[in-house]
């Protein structure tokens, strides 16, 4: 392997990581729900790139298809259906909440730095190549799909029904009184 390959990998890994962090910060600071949702899509694309770089292409593709694709479309649909204007949602952001969020972020960074310096607990550490052995013998999809459609099938189906109920609830909330019965809309 050429020596520049490791440097290029490290550069791209940190680049996608920094873009994901910056996009996440912009995501939580937007007042517009649509703009925030689009920044969240950018975070999810960066996470998918990181998964691909970590030799998990299946998880990266699922990240794009499921989260950046399907769930974000549902979020944008609900946001646009509810027609959230600039003044429709009260904004509770002020300097106190920003200070609390900054302190919480610094605590998380300190925790990550401490975790990086520590050794993993031997009781929970995996064998060095156990995941590689499973992937070589079964492929990347069966270890994920097997439990999902066997032992977690009920939870998977309940989650899909819950998302459907949330969409129907957003439609009901978004409609004005009398519109379902064919009557005129309320003029408020």
> Where residue 64 sits, what CATH number does that domain have?
1.20.120.1200
* Same structural domain, 110 and 32: yes
* Same structural domain, 107 and 32: yes
* Same structural domain, 37 and 87: yes
Count structural domains, the chain: 2
* Same structural domain, 97 and 54: yes
| Domain span including residue 52 | 1-117
* Same structural domain, 42 and 109: yes
Examine the fold and report which residue of 117, 149, 177 is the final residue of a domain before the chain moves on: 117
The per-residue pLDDT for 128 is 60
Residue 104 token pair: 């919480």
* Same structural domain, 40 and 108: yes
188/179 Cα distance (integer angstroms): 14
Tell me the pLDDT tens digit for each residue of 94-136: 677 778 878 888 887 887 777 777 766 565 555 666 666 677 7
Return the ∠ at Cα 79 (arms to 186 and 39), rounded to 5°. Answer: 155
Q: Residue 185: inside a domain, yes or no? A: yes
Q: Residue 10: inside a domain, yes or no? A: yes
Ranges 18-27, 62-71, 85-94: which has the least confidence: 85-94
Q: What share of the chain in percent tops pLDDT 90?
A: 8
Q: Residue 51 above 80 pLDDT? A: yes
16 contacts 46 by C-beta, under 8 angstroms: yes
* Same structural domain, 53 and 10: yes
- Give the DSSP letter string of 27-38: HHH-SSHHHHHH
Residue 11 token pair: 């550069």
Residue 4 token pair: 């520049």
* Same structural domain, 30 and 104: yes
84 contacts 33 by C-beta, under 8 angstroms: yes
* Same structural domain, 39 and 92: yes
Q: Residue 152: inside a domain, yes or no? A: yes
* Same structural domain, 157 and 134: yes
Q: Residue 12: inside a domain, yes or no? A: yes
The per-residue pLDDT for 90 is 46
64 contacts 52 by C-beta, under 8 angstroms: no
Examine the fold and report which residue of 117, 141, 164 is the final residue of a domain before the chain moves on: 117
* Same structural domain, 11 and 95: yes
* Same structural domain, 112 and 145: no
Burial of 43 (0-12, 13-18, 19+ CB in 10 A): buried
Q: Residue 172 above 50 pLDDT? A: yes
Q: Residue 122: inside a domain, yes or no? A: no
135/141 Cα distance (integer angstroms): 9
């Amino acid at each position: 392997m050429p020596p520049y390959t490791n440097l290029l990998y490290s550069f791209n890994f940190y680049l996608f990581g920094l873009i994901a962090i910056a996009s996440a910060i912009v995501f939580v600071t937007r007042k517009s729900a649509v703009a925030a949702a689009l920044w969240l899509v950018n975070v999810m694309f960066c996470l998918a790139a990181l998964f691909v770089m970590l030799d998990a292409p299946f998880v990266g593709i699922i990240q794009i298809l499921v989260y950046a694709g399907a769930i974000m479309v549902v979020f944008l649909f609900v946001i646009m259906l509810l027609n959230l204007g600039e003044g429709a949602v009260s904004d509770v952001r002020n300097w106190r909440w920003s200070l609390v969020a900054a302190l919480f972020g610094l605590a998380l960074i300190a925790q990550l730095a401490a975790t990086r310096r520590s050794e993993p607990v031997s009781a929970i550490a995996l064998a060095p190549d156990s995941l590689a052995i499973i992937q070589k013998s079964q492929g990347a999809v069966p270890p994920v799909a097997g439990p999902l459609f066997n032992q977690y099938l009920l939870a998977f189906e309940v989650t899909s029904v819950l998302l459907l109920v949330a969409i129907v609830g957003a439609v009901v909330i978004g409609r004005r009184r009398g519109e379902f019965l064919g009557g005129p809309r309320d003029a408020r």
